[in-house]
Amino acid sequence: MNPIEFVLPGEIEKRSFEIISEELEKRQIVLPKEQEPVTKRVIHTSADFDYAETMCYSDHAVEIAKELILKGADVVTDTNMALAGINKKILASFGGEAHCFMADLDVAQLARERQVTRATISMEKAAAIEKPVIFAVGNAPTALIELHKMITEGRYQPAFIIGVPVGFVNVVPAKELIMETEVPYIINRGRKGGSNVAAAICNAILYQLRR
């Protein structure tokens, strides 16, 4: 067993990223410069190097997301865990707010009435926000399916989609649907993802803009 290594609190994250870089090198994986801080932070939050192979970015995705945040875009997520994890202070410093409508009473009621998931209704509620919205979906493929429906029906255009729901039912095809649209995206292909991954992606972008 490795012994406990003495690392100053302020150095732990730096040391972690060094180890991630070393292991990527060993695996002969070279990440595109723009995507590197995002994919590495996802590996940092999961200790799972599979993400180095499955994270998908539309053209200039990270730059587009950064510009949106600089212009004050809001973030809507589908779990309160992701909401808790997103650095809301940096987001607010540019005028953006983070929302999660999943626990709202009207959302629960409408979902019951219409026999759809709360995530579906949450996306409709988010579409009413009158400014550009970055969607950070870490849990519900139904959120992505609803976004795709609104996009293809011409009812709503999300500014950006972070699509990293996790799971076994419709997760894989829901992600592929989003990648067929014109909306800029960061998506983790396959079953893996999660609220932690959604928050990590948001934070990797936010930390680059911290002032």
Exposure of 8 by Cβ count < 10 A (0-12 exposed, 13-18 middle, 19+ buried)?
exposed
Out of 37, 72, 132, 167, which residue is the one contacting a second copy (CB under 8 A)? 167
Within 19-58, which residues bind a second copy (CB under 8 A)?
19-20, 44-48
Helix (H) or strand (E) holding 133: strand 133-137
In the complex, least distance from residue 1 CB atom to a second copy, rounded to whole angstroms:
5
Out of 142, 146, 163, 201, which residue is the one contacting a second copy (CB under 8 A)? 142
Distance (Å, rounded) from C-alpha 122 to C-alpha 101? 5
- Does the CA dihedral 165-166-171-175 come out positive or negative? positive
From the list 34-42, 65-73, 170-178, 202-210, the region that binds a second copy by CB under 8 A is: 170-178
159 closest CA partner among 57, 73, 101? 73
Is 154 a binding residue for a second copy by CB under 8 A? The answer is: no
Helix (H) or strand (E) holding 15: helix 12-26
From the list 24-32, 68-76, 80-88, 151-159, the region that binds a second copy by CB under 8 A is: 80-88
How many helical (H) and strand (E) elements, i.e. helices and strands, does the chain have? 11, 6
Look up 44 and say whether it is catalytic. yes
Given a contact cutoff of 8 angstroms between Cβ atoms, the answer to whether 77 and 160 are in contact is no
Site string for a second copy, 54-73 (x = CB under 8 A): --------------------
Tell me, what amino acid is at 5? E
* Pairing between β-strand 74-77 and β-strand 55-57 as defined by DSSP bridges: unpaired
Closer by beta carbon to a second copy, 16 or else 93? 16
Closer by beta carbon to a second copy, 129 or else 169? 169
Out of 70, 80, 95, 210, which residue is the one contacting a second copy (CB under 8 A)? 80
Within 91-130, which residues bind a second copy (CB under 8 A)?
111, 115-118
CA dihedral 103, 197, 207, 205 (to 10 degrees): -90
Is 83 a binding residue for a second copy by CB under 8 A? The answer is: yes
Residues at the contact surface with a second copy, assessed by CB under 8 A? 1-5, 7-9, 12, 15-16, 19-20, 44-48, 79-85, 111, 115-118, 142, 145, 166-174, 176-177, 190-196, 199
Catalytic residues: 44
